[in-house]
Amino acid sequence: MTNILKHFKLNNRIFQKKTVFIILILLFTHVLPSFAFEPVDHLQVHGFISQGYIITSDNKFCGNSDNNGSFDFREIGLNASYRPIPSLQISAQALSRFAGENDDGSIRLDYGFMDYSVMDNDSCQWGVRLGRVKTPFGLYNETRDVAVTRPSVFLPQSIYFDRTRDLALSGDGLYLYGEYRTDLGNLFLKLGSGKPRVKDREVENSLLGRNFPGNLDGNISYNGQLLYEKDGGLIRLAFTWAQLNMDYDSSALPPFDIDSGSIKFEPYVFSAQINEERWSLTGEYALRRLKYDDFSYPGIINRVIKGESCYIQGTYNFFEDWQGFVRYDILYSNKDDRNGKKAERPGHPAHSFFAKDLTFGLRWNITESHMLRGEYHYVNGTAWLTSEDNTDRSKTKPYWNMFSILIAYYF
């Protein structure tokens, strides 16, 4: 026992300090008001802070989770929005996220844009957004780093994989949005064009197999979402489409680098949700088309890969502030090779091409602005694990368990 404690202290010394600091902040927040901060008229300030603890039986998720657990999962955000006139809103959010080797906590602009509504009346609304805007993708992407808006500690990784999160996160560009209100429900349309943020080595790891010397850059990309909502969310149906274009520019001649090439990533997501007073049922299905062009490296041949993801999730509020959920989540990197047998090669075991995750979890709303969560995952496959945390994929285990706890404060 003493040995374990010693080991634990050594491994987590740095994180422990930070964790204690975060927990102190969380305790301090108890005396703060739960509602938004409105220093002057039409200006609102909101924020969130969350700290997680993750322990896995094998494999690494958010740091050294298989070695007595990891505290290296933390999200801190602060945003401000100002509406000087009813038709114009300016918003920005700063975000710092720690997640193992995948995210180092550096502060960045999560979104920052100007929203102008050209038309706003009781039956419809049309407007434009200019700047860095969160990408509408499925039901949860726009607020994926805000623990309180998620159904669980971690979003279903088949669709919202954190591995290549930067791709789907937000884009810099111009977006159009519209809302049509009828007695039968409301229709929302969002269309956007901008440059995705791909400057992340894990995006390269995931799309090219490893981090090459050259640069993978985002090109003009497009996305759109059509959402139908009845009674403010009793029923929600959505279809999302995106086309993400990326170019790889080599920085050296072969064999030191690969030739320049381009990648087109096209996901289609179908989402459905029913929200009743005590229970809700959610299902999402995604088909992901990945096209490689102009590459001539032996490992990256020009081809089209079709990936497939889906999950089904049920939640139940058994007391006023207690909620339980169960979810089954499946990811196939290639739907024509579901067990990964064709793609299997040294350093890339078959189980790194799929993941099936059964999750059970609990949520407790301690106050109106504090939340505590715990969940257990039983996973077969390692497709959504990062190569940054699991540098040698041949050492990963196909069957593994994960338990996580998360505490959050938001206002």
Partner 1 sequence: MGHITTSKTKPFKPIILSCFCMVMLALSLIISLKECKAQVIIGNSSITEDCISKNTLSAIFGMRLHTWPDGTSIKVFVLQDKHPLHIKFAKRRLNIFPHQLRWCWDRLVFSGTGQAPTELSSEDEMRKKVASVPGAIGYLEGPVNDKHIKTFQIK
Q: CB nearer to partner 1: give 159 or 385.
A: 159
Q: How far is the CB of 197 from partner 1 (least distance, A)?
A: 16
Cβ contact 106:99 at 8 Å: no
Q: Which of 60, 74, 97, 134 forms a contact with partner 1 (CB under 8 A)? A: 134
Instruction: Report the Cα 78 to chain-centroid distance in Å.
Output: 18
146 makes contact with partner 1 (CB under 8 A) = yes
At residue 261's C-alpha, the angle toward residues 216 and 201, to 5°, is 20
Instruction: Find the shortest distance in angstroms from Cβ 91 to partner 1.
Output: 3
Written as six digits, the tokens of 333 are 């990197």
Position 315 contacts partner 1 (CB under 8 A): no
At 148, the amino acid letter reads: V
128 binds partner 1 (CB under 8 A): no
Residue 81 binds to partner 1 (criterion: CB under 8 A): yes
Q: Does residue 121 interact with partner 1 by CB under 8 A?
A: yes
Q: Contact between 319 and partner 1 (CB under 8 A)? A: no
Question: Considering only residues 108, 181, 195, 338, which one is a binding residue for partner 1 as defined by CB under 8 A?
Answer: 181
256 part of the interface to partner 1, by CB under 8 A: no
Stretch that binds partner 1, among 106-114, 282-290, 349-357, 375-383 (CB under 8 A): 106-114
Residue closer to partner 1 (CB basis): 33 or 254: 33
What is the smallest separation between the CB atom of 317 and partner 1, expressed in angstroms? 8
40 lies in the site for partner 1, by CB under 8 A: no
Residue 334, CA distances (Å) to 2, 242, 297, 384 in order: 46, 18, 20, 13
CA-based angle 322:326:331, to the nearest 5?
140
Closest to partner 1 by CB, 60 or 236: 236
At closest approach, how far in Å is the CB of 369 from partner 1? 10
- Give a three-class secondary structure readout of the chain: CHHHHHHHHHHHHHHHHHHHHHHHHHHHHHHCCCCCECCCCCEEEEEEEEEEEEEECCCCCCCCCCCCCEEEEEEEEEEEEEEEECCEEEEEEEEEEEECECEECCCEEEEEEEEEEEEECCCEEEEEEEEEEECCCCCCHHHCCCHHHCCCCCCCCCCCCCCCHHHHHEEEEEEEEEEEEECCEEEEEEEEEEEECCCCHHHHHHHHCCCCCCEEEECCEEEEEEEEEECCCCEEEEEEEEEEEEEEECCCCCCCCCCCEEEEEEEEEEEEEEECCCEEEEEEEEEEEEEEECCCECCECCCEEEEEEEEEEEEEEEECCEEEEEEEEEEECCCCCCCCCCCCECCECHHHHEEEEEEEEEEEEEECCEEEEEEEEEEEECCCCCCCCCCCHHHCCCEEEEEEEEEEEEC
**Contact pick of 29, 70, 79, 359 for partner 1 (by CB under 8 A):** 79
- Residues numbered 325 to 364 that lie near partner 1 (CB under 8 A) are none
Binding status of residue 77 toward partner 1 by CB under 8 A = yes
Site for partner 1 contains 149 (CB under 8 A)? yes
Residue of 12, 93, 152, 359 interacting with partner 1 (CB under 8 A) = 93
Residue 226 is a binding residue for partner 1 (CB under 8 A): no
Minimum distance of partner 1 from residue 76's CB (angstroms): 13
Question: With respect to partner 1, which residue has the nearer C-beta, 104 or 120?
Answer: 120
Q: Which is nearer to partner 1, 277 or 392 (CB)?
A: 277
Q: Supply the minimum distance, in Å, between the C-beta of residue 358 and partner 1.
A: 25
Of 209 and 324, the one with the shorter C-beta distance to partner 1 is 324
Does position 116 bind partner 1 by CB under 8 A? no
Q: Is residue 387 near partner 1 by the rule CB under 8 A?
A: no
Binding site for partner 1 (CB under 8 A): 34-36, 38, 44, 46, 48, 77, 79, 81, 83, 85-87, 89, 91-93, 111-113, 115, 117, 120-123, 125, 129, 133-134, 142-143, 146, 148-149, 179, 181-183, 186, 231-234, 275, 277, 317, 368, 410
